[in-house]
Amino acid sequence: MGQEKVDPQAASAGTAMKLVWQDEFDGDSLDYAKWGVEVNAFGGGNSELQIYTDRSENVRVEDGNLVIEARKDNAGISGTEREYSSGRVRTKHRGDWKYGRIDVRAKLPEGAGIWSAIWMLPTDDAYGGWAASGEIDIMEMKGQEPDQVLGTLHYGDVWPRNAYSGDKYKLQNGTFADDFHTFSVVWKPGQIDWLIDGKKYQTQTKWSSTGGEFPAPFDQEFHLLLNVAVGGNFLGSPNDSTPFPAQMLVDYVRVYQ
């Protein structure tokens, strides 16, 4: 892991955390001890249009960044071909945490129908199926609104009786496609804070699960997911102005506890 690092922002707040997991993407290939690449011929739910592959065209490491690239290339896997392809990686069983601070520095793709996400799911569905066991969305961005991102919790009961709550953060100048920004959550028992570039913009302390008492479901181990989806119910389809390929570049992932 290299030299131990301490989070200076957490330290200045009197709650020093130590770096427990990181990927700086300095090599020339993905570290499969830390990441699994999901292969899914039918997108990721939500009526999304992409196929997720493990091809280097969709997931690779180059120039010090993880590249997750959405393409309009009629890729096929498992006997299924779709108009769009993209990548989705996760740390499940390679990086699983209960509480801590997760920092992801990334540059996001813009364009109608491009949905980039940095998020967390429970490693074990201790309280039942989605969303009774929870979901933590560190960052989601609709490519047609590239100056704002969303931070959301999903919880409550299994779909469709689930609930969610969250807020958005809007840049005063420019877009999240112009440069890298650091997206973070600080997750403590009964409280989750969202930060962008070290600035807190929301705190949540109220949620529930039909499977257990508060602070369930956010009292179990979660893992991290990074992906770029195309289309779907959340944001609509690409149009003629959507640029392909569309890349999310990830400079680093750092987890402190």
Is 74 domain-assigned? Answer: yes
Tally of domains in the chain: 1
pLDDT tens readout for residues 94-125: 999 999 999 999 999 999 999 999 999 999 99
pLDDT tens readout for residues 151-170: 999 999 999 999 999 999 99
- The per-residue pLDDT for 77 is 85
Terminal Cα distance for the chain, rounded: 15
Residue found under tokens 């739910």 = 45
Question: In this structure, what DSSP letter does residue 209 have?
Answer: B
Nearest to 46 by CA among 235, 181, 207, 175: 235
Token digits of residue 183? 């997206």
The answer to whether the CB of 10 falls within 8 A of the CB of 100 is no
Is 1 domain-assigned? Answer: no
- Distance (Å, whole) CA 203 – CA 194: 6
Pairing status of strand 84-86 against strand 65-72: antiparallel
In the predicted structure, residue 5 carries a pLDDT above the cut 80 = no
List, by residue number, the catalytic residues: 135, 140
The answer to whether the CB of 119 falls within 8 A of the CB of 45 is no
**What's the domain range around 130?**
8-256
Pairing status of strand 84-86 against strand 50-52: parallel
Is 99 domain-assigned? Answer: yes
Name the pTM for this structure: 0.94
Residue found under tokens 């008492």 = 213
Is 3 domain-assigned? Answer: no
Nearest to 175 by CA among 140, 147, 144: 147
Is 57 domain-assigned? Answer: yes
- The per-residue pLDDT for 42 is 82
CATH value at residue 239: 2.60.120.200
Is 133 domain-assigned? Answer: yes
With cut-offs at 50, 70 and 90, classify the pLDDT of residue 7: low
